[in-house]
Amino acid sequence: MAITRTLSIIKPDATRRNLTGQVTKMLEDAGLRVVASKRIRMTREQAEGFYAVHRERPFFHDLVAFMTSGPVVVQVLEGEDAVATNRRVMGATNPAEAAPGTIRRELAESIEANTVHGSDSDANAAIEIAFFFRPEEIVG
């Protein structure tokens, strides 16, 4: 298995509850390395662009409102098969369906305020990393 990268976002429900360190520790304990990180307040335009694939979903406007409701921490994670490793430690989208020990099962508030984002493929990871980071901001 190759060393690859993925994009993680620690969402506003987690920054509001001061869980940035706790989430990052769970990612690191899963074998992922934070090779870029910044705390930002997403604009509405950024959130709409980032989640453009969900534009037709009924929860799109609520999701954009939630993602812009407070600071987020965007991170590039590196590790063995990073996309799959991150999705495993994140757990299912709905925390009620997430496996015990996963970030969403242990920390998420709801299906929307579910603490973390993670890219769902290597191709999307590359697009999402470039959405937030310039190459020189990523230091492996």
Residues that bind ligand GDP (CB under 6 A): 59, 62-63, 93, 111-112, 114, 117, 120
Q: How far is the CB of 42 from ligand GDP (least distance, A)?
A: 13
Kindly tell me which of 59 and 131 has the beta carbon lying closer to ligand GDP.
59
Kindly tell me which of 99 and 140 has the beta carbon lying closer to ligand GDP.
99
Among residues 5, 11, 87, 117, the one annotated as catalytic is 117
Kindly tell me which of 20 and 69 has the beta carbon lying closer to ligand GDP.
69
Q: Among 27, 17, 24, 70, which Cα is nearest to 47's?
A: 70
Q: How far apart are CA 123 and CA 2, in angstroms?
A: 15
Can you say whether the dihedral through the CA atoms of 117, 122, 125, 129 is positive or negative? positive
Helix residue spans in 20-79 (DSSP H): 20-29, 44-50, 60-67
117 labelled catalytic: yes
Q: How far apart are CA 121 and CA 43, in angstroms?
A: 25
Q: How far is the CB of 135 from ligand GDP (least distance, A)?
A: 25
Instruction: List active site positions.
Output: 117
